[in-house]
């Protein structure tokens, strides 16, 4: 395994947030240390307790929570991570990153980090194909961000189309390839 073994998972507000548990578990089984940062809105889909239990580490979700020891949460996580994987990544998070908005712990950590970034989008097919979202993805790719998926599949809205989170095995494989 690579000496780069610190993976920070950014979880955003998508119905696919439950799949982050499978990703965390697979990475840990492969010997990677995993920490989690989640947007406040992601808490509508999955709990911090679930992510903490699976990762074995405290979950960061509030940039302004008073820490037990002094640190700046997003900066500490940014320095720790070898790879930041945002899975699932919403159109909102992609837009924040493309425009340098650091208004949540996930986006602030990414913008503070020199780590490799892997984005795994998950959203409605019309959102994914929207010209603004496509432009934001193009911007991030031009800045060196890596992307995996989405793929065609069943979507929460009932549509079948592009916007389904890439498979857990492909996300984990791509993460490992980046960390080599």
Query: Is 157 a residue of the active site?
Result: yes
Peptide bond into 150 cis (omega under 30): yes
Catalytic residue (one of 1, 156, 157, 160): 157
Show the tokens assigned to 70: 């002094």
The structure tokens 């496509």 sit at 134
In terms of Cβ atoms closer than 10 Å to its own Cβ (0-12, 13-18, 19+), residue 167 is middle
Closest CA to 84 of 34, 33, 118: 118
Please identify every residue annotated as catalytic: 157
């Amino acid at each position: 395994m690579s000496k780069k073994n610190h993976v920070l998972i950014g979880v955003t507000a998508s119905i696919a947030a439950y799949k982050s548990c499978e990703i965390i578990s697979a990475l840990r089984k492969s010997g990677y240390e995993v920490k989690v940062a989640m947007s406040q809105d992601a808490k509508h889909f999955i709990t911090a307790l679930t992510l903490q239990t699976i990762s074995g580490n405290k979950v960061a979700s509030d940039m302004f929570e008073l820490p037990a020891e002094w640190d700046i949460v997003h900066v500490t996580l940014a320095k720790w991570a070898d790879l930041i994987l945002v899975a699932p990544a919403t159109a909102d998070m992609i837009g924040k990153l493309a425009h340098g908005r650091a208004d949540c712990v996930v986006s602030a950590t990414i913008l503070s980090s020199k780590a490799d970034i892997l984005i795994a989008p998950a959203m409605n097919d019309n959102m994914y194909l929207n010209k603004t979202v496509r432009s934001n993805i193009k911007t991030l790719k031009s800045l060196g961000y890596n992307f995996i998926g989405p793929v065609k599949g069943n979507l929460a809205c009932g549509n079948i189309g592009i916007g389904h989170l890439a498979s857990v095995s492909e996300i984990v494989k791509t993460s490992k390839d980046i960390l080599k």
